Copies of this chain bind each other. A is one copy, B any other.
Amino acid sequence: MIGRINHIAIAVPDLAAASTRYRDLLGARVGEPQALPEHGVIVVFVDTGNAKVELMAPLGEDSPIAGFLEKNPAGGMHHMCFEVRDIATATQRLVAGGARVLGDGRPRTGAHGLPVIFLHPKDFDGVLIELEEIGEG
């Protein structure tokens, strides 16, 4: 069911500093900051060739990562995202197996404009897993 790792998301307290570290210390290909106000984050994508690292800082009030950064002020790995072909089928299989989908259980539009769900970390070893529908492509 799950396909490729699409990205690893890292919550960071200082996006400019994090971007500089990935570019200058790790020599990575680092993009420009993109504000995603509807998701409450501003992100920078690091292209590693096979998958992305997504550096995220809070944007605006009620950012969904504000709580995480309160608990982890230095930052940390926030979630990992796998690609799926059909998110409805994936959701059905997960729910039938007893896994919990966050929110109202229905896909919403994620940061890349594609349908996503998030799975409860308690069902997956403390790890917040995002599934993103990439279609049959």
Interface residues of A (CB under 8 A from B): 1-5, 8, 10-13, 18, 21, 24-28, 48-51, 53, 55, 72, 74-77, 80, 82, 93-94, 97-99, 121-127, 129
24 sampled A-B residue pairs with Cβ under 8 A: A1-B26, A2-B27, A2-B28, A4-B49, A4-B50, A4-B51, A5-B8, A5-B48, A5-B51, A10-B127, A21-B99, A25-B94, A25-B98, A25-B99, A26-B94, A50-B51, A72-B126, A74-B121, A74-B125, A75-B125, A75-B126, A76-B125, A76-B126, A77-B126
* Copies of the chain in the assembly: 2
Interface centre among A48, A51, A74, A121 (most CB of B within 10 A): A48
